Structure 1
Amino acid sequence: MKAFKFQPLLKQTLWGGDRIIPFKHLDAKMDNVGESWEISGVKDNETIVVGDGRSLNQLVNDMKEKLVGKANYERFGTEFPLLIKFIDARQDLSIQVHPTDEIAHRQGKSRGKTEMWFVMDSAPEAKLYNGLKMQITPEQYKEMVANDTICDALAQYPVKEGDCFFIPAGRIHAIGAGCFLAEIQQTSDVTYRIYDFKRKDKDGNYRQLHTQEASESIDYTVLPDYRTRYEARKNEGELLVECPYFNTAVYDLDEPMTIDYSELDSFVILIGMKGEGTLTVDGENMPFREGETVLVPATANEVRSEGTIKFLETYVLS
């Protein structure tokens, strides 16, 4: 069964830059493109299969467990469980947090959001926030938001290509100016904006903050380090994240490699980070290069990669 590519949904934002369109080799004229939604089943933001016309959710409805795997279909039904993005931040994004599934349900939302970032070739001065560096209480959190000092409580990291950060639901975080990265997340668009640097939108208004909802969602645990540590190696997969919502590895290949998925009960998403090559999915070839994202159905037994290509591999184990 063949693999699928999708038409990206390009999102113009206040903080967006100019890197996504050339990175994806698109013939488009748009300014301030902050995000490219690569694979999305979010309502009213569903990506469409290239050369097919079906939305991702229609594809799941038609193929069911043949696309997502038996256990995933039992767990998620016709809703695809992951949302894949490229993000280009010309300016700092807001300080934000996402709720867990349990808290989201209490707040009337369908689910929470756990996610991860993999940094691509970013600006030399690029930084991001991830996690608390000091112990604070919910009351102190509200005070620090009100007096513009909340950033003083956050761990900040300078970033470079290859850096990886896991952001479980409840962890305060923000992408900083100059960051260019791939994001893998639960299919959810629930974001609570904590602080927005007193910026105004195009109409001169401050963007809405969600101070109360965020205070209910924040995990106030302090850890010594929030960066994902791994050893980058050529021509073999390196596990980055293993959690209930997705497993993700990185491959940096300059020689042919066949990946065996015959025992895996899940779809697989391959996200092109750098270079180009050819994927062969159960005997059918397709070109694959940086800026492209490919959905491999659960029925595929193996994928062979040829060329010089770096990509992320992600799937869901139920």
Structure 2
Amino acid sequence: MYPLKFKPILKSTIWGGNKIIPFKHLDCRQEQVGESWEISDVKGDESIVANGADAGKNLTQLMNEYKEKLVGKENYERFHGEFPLLIKFIDAQQDLSIQVHPDDELAMKRHNSRGKTEMWYVIGTAEGAHLRSGLSQKITPEEYARRIADNTICDVLADYQIHAGDVFFLPAGRIHSIGAGSFIAEIQETSNITYRIYDFNRKDKNGNTRELHTELSKDAIDYTVHEDYRTHYTPKQNEGVELVKCRHFTTSVYDLTEPMTVDYSELDSFVIYICMEGSCKVTDNEGNELQLRAGESVLFPATAQTIDIAPEGSVKFLETYV
């Protein structure tokens, strides 16, 4: 196998902006692109391989064909042949709805699906950019429902002004929303189960408000209050800095100006690089080489033992695996 790139799945939204297409160097016209699904095995939104001998195949087909060679033996068994992560870029020109996602147990019980634990890495921001993550004070499920009805739910949510490089970990059950001016890389479990809590009473082009899932979300919310929901880390050059480690994924950030070889020989997993700045050449132990530049993501199969990274000036990317 070889390092895989995929065709982006661009999604226009009522809150989408205009950053994603130029960021990804795409030659296309599409308005209000809020999301680019970079690597997806969500049914109906399966990513299509863009390079090499497997070009034209989708990720589900790759899973069926390569199995543990693609994702690792333990991952293949654990996730029953489904690719476990969904990678996105998100560009919010307006506030997104306030949401919560069920955990694996509740999602399986209600929807026969995995839940959604996720993380955000802030790539860039417009002036005043913000996001919401977690409760700022203790509330009960009954007060939660009342605050949805009387439009005061935002009063009890932690609201953060954000800057490039900020990181937020969002375990399933944590209330959250991406605010206007946020440009973000998102890593999450492969799941499309979202409970919409509040949408600011917005109406679509037909004058209709979007459905809220107040009762469903009531049991999905983790009502624990934390002092700080931001993930704190110390940026470093020319070494990996771990950001998040959980049972669903481990993610680090690399900011390189010098060549580096990363050894994955002890890792029983695929590895994904999500490039946010600059460019580099990556070469695996079998001699497969490709260029990775800002706006691109690449999937290294579990058969990759080592990866040589040669920055072209400088490069910043996220590394994630299960």
TM-score band by shorter chain is over 0.9
2:156 corresponds in structure 1 to: 153
TM superposition shift of 1:76: 1.1
Q: Matched residues in 2 for 1:111 and 1:186: separation?
A: 7
Describe how 1:1-318 pairs up with structure 2 within 5 A: 1-51=1-51, 52-282=55-285, 283-307=287-311, 308-316=314-322
Give distance in 1, aligned partners of 2:13 and 2:148.
23
1:110 is paired with a residue of what secondary structure? Answer: coil
Distance, in Å, in 1 between the alignment partners of 2:65 and 2:108 is 28
- Whether contact under 8 Å (1:274, 1:310) holds in the other structure is yes
Give the Cα–Cα distance (whole angstroms) in 1 for the partners of residues 50 and 9 of structure 2: 12
Mapped to 2, the partners of 1:102 and 1:222 lie a distance apart of 22
AA aligned opposite 2:297: T
Deviations 1:207-264 (A, max 9, x none): 0000000101000000000000000000000000000100000000011011000110
User: How many Å apart are 1:173 and its aligned residue?
Assistant: 0.1
Could you tell me which amino acid in structure 2 is paired with residue 81 of structure 1? P
Q: Indicate the SS of the match to 1:121.
A: strand
TM-score calculated relative to the size of structure 1: 0.98
Corresponding residue SS for 2:169: strand
- Gap regions ≥5 residues in structure 2: none
Deviations 1:41-80 (A, max 9, x none): 0000001001411000101111100000010011112210
Q: CA deviation at 1:194?
A: 0.3
TM-superposed CA distance for 1:108, in Å, is: 2.9
Task: Work out the CA distance in 1 between the residues paired with 2:306 and 2:90.
Answer: 29
CA distance in 2, matches of 1:249, 1:202: 40
Distance (whole Å) between structure 1 residues aligned to residue 289 and residue 200 of structure 2: 48
Whether the aligned pair in 2 keeps the contact of 1:124 and 1:160 (CA below 8 Å) is no
Q: Deviations over 1:86-105 (max 9, x none)?
A: 00000000000000111112
Find the aligned partners of 1:2 and 1:267 in 2 and give their Cα distance.
Answer: 11
Question: SS in structure 2 opposite 1:120?
Answer: strand
RMSD: 0.7
Deviation at 1:281, TM superposition (A): 1.5
SS in 2 for 1:107: helix
Instruction: Structure 1: give runs of 5+ residues left out of the alignment.
Output: none
Displaced runs of 4 or more, over 3 A: none
Deviation at 1:198, TM superposition (A): 0.6
How far apart are the structure 2 equivalents of 1:286 and 1:161?
27
TM-score (norm 2): 0.97
1:95-142 CA deviation, whole Å, 9 max, x = no partner? 000001111122233121000000011112100000001000000000
Whole-angstrom CA distance in 2 between matches of 1:122 and 1:192: 26
Paired residue type of 1:94: S
Distance 2:108 2:219 in 1: 12
Determine the C-alpha separation between the residues in 1 that align with 2:267 and 2:107. Answer: 30
Alignment partners' CA distance in 2, 1:120 and 1:127: 13
Q: Tell me how far apart the structure 2 counterparts of residues 202 and 305 of structure 1 sit (CA, whole Å).
A: 47
Would you say how many aligned residue pairs link Structure 1 and Structure 2? 316
Using the TM superposition, name which of 81-90 and 279-288 deviates more. Answer: 279-288
